[in-house]
Structure 1
Amino acid sequence: MEQIFYNSYCPVPENQRPLNEFLNFKQSFYFKWLNQKLTNYLFRIILLSIVIFIFSVPIANFYYCYFEYPTKFIFLNCFIIIIFQTLIIIRICLTSFYIKERLNKPFIEYEESSWYDCQTWVKSIKVLKQDRLIYYYNIFPIINRLKKIIVYLILVYNIGFIFNILI
């Protein structure tokens, strides 16, 4: 994606421009997961769950021995998996909301030096349109998918919590 609308007069350093921040986010590991089809995405989430499960077994075994309390052991592992997945989703949400805010604002706040001096640059109309199009076609669908994922994780967490109380 070319930065044709950020002209040479733009005083914002390249690494602080919203479009470059979006491109860096787009190159990230988790963004690629979120843009895949639902089946591929679910496969990756299940694979991540298996990896987290492998690392959570010693932690859960410390609290509940598998041979004495197998149901509590399994529920504790599921709880650890859900917590780690939730932390990953929250991290992606925070990055998405930050980029959304930077793309939608009609101005860019930036720093020229290493200490905080908070300069602002007003975007031209072309730059603002480009940034908002990027938001509506790339970031907005991800935010909607993340909202659904968070609702499902909360639902699974609550069902597991209620089931754990009953057992």
Structure 2
Amino acid sequence: MLSKKSNCPVPFDQQPLNEYLLLKESFLFSWSVSSKNSFIFGFLLLFIVLFVFFSIFLAVFNNVSNFSQFFLLNLLFSNTIVLCLFVRLYLGWSYIVKRLMSATVFYEESGWYDGQVWIKTSDYLIQDRLVGCYQVIPFMLRIKYSCLSIFFTFLLFIYLVLYFE
């Protein structure tokens, strides 16, 4: 349900609410706004798939004789990819929430050289800020806490790899 308002000079695909709706429908970002159980299941499934992939990769291309080092390297590589994914999710949603919460919208009519700024009317501002506060920020907090937990496990894996070396 994309919104087209007649009194808004911003092009349709650059309006913050429409950017939010389009991002919410994309594959990667729709996973981040799904239910909590679906989010956790998808995260664990992704981690297991990456773990199996890196297990095969390390078994074929690396002669690691110590199983604990092999296991920890595998966890480290899998965790790195998942951490990068969560950083990408957080950066995408933070861009959208910045545009939703801002009182002005920077937009380009036909190219990079003719940027303009539109000051939102009170109706647009209230609607965008409500969407930002109650629909986007809770998912950003979920992603932020997930990213922090992955980062701390990443540090733990680095410590363990260095300890067992």
TM-score by length of 2: 0.89
How far did residue 58 of structure 1 move? 4.0
Aligned residue for 2:147? Answer: 150
Aligned residue for 1:8? Answer: 6
Aligned residue for 1:21? Answer: 19
Task: Provide the aligned C-alpha RMSD in A.
Answer: 1.7
Gaps of 5+ in 1: none
How far did residue 122 of structure 1 move? 1.1
Gaps of 5+ in 2: none
Aligned residue for 2:160? Answer: 163
How far did residue 47 of structure 1 move? 0.8
2:99 to 95, 98, 102: 102
Q: How does 1:59-78 map to 2 (within 5 A)?
A: 59-61=57-59, 62-65=61-64, 68-78=65-75
1:47 to 42, 45, 48: 45
Query: Aligned letter for 1:56?
Result: F
In terms of mean alpha carbon deviation, does 124-133 or 20-29 score higher?
Answer: 20-29
Query: Aligned letter for 1:136?
Result: C
Change (3 A) 1:148 1:142: same
Query: Aligned letter for 1:162?
Result: Y
Distance 1:124 1:106 in 2: 8
Report how many aligned residue pairs link the two structures: 163
Contact 2:24 2:33 in 1 (8 A): no
Change (3 A) 1:10 1:122: same
Contact 2:23 2:30 in 1 (8 A): no
How far did residue 19 of structure 1 move? 0.7
How far did residue 2 of structure 1 move? 5.7
Distance 1:116 1:74 in 2: 52
Distance 2:28 2:157 in 1: 26
1:30 to 19, 28, 31: 28
After TM superposition, which residue ranges in structure 1, 4 or more long, deviate above 6 angstroms? Answer: none
How far did residue 116 of structure 1 move? 2.3
2:123 to 121, 126, 129: 126
**Other structure's SS at 1:11 match:** coil
Distance 1:146 1:19 in 2: 20
Change (3 A) 1:147 1:115: closer
**Other structure's SS at 1:36 match:** coil
Distance 2:2 2:75 in 1: 44
Contact 1:64 1:73 in 2 (8 A): no
**CA deviation vs aligned residue, 1:41-92 (integer Å, no higher than 9, x gap):** 2211111112212322343232343xx2221111111111111111111111
TM-score by length of 1: 0.88
Identity of aligned residues (%): 33
**Other structure's SS at 1:8 match:** coil
Query: Aligned letter for 2:8?
Result: C
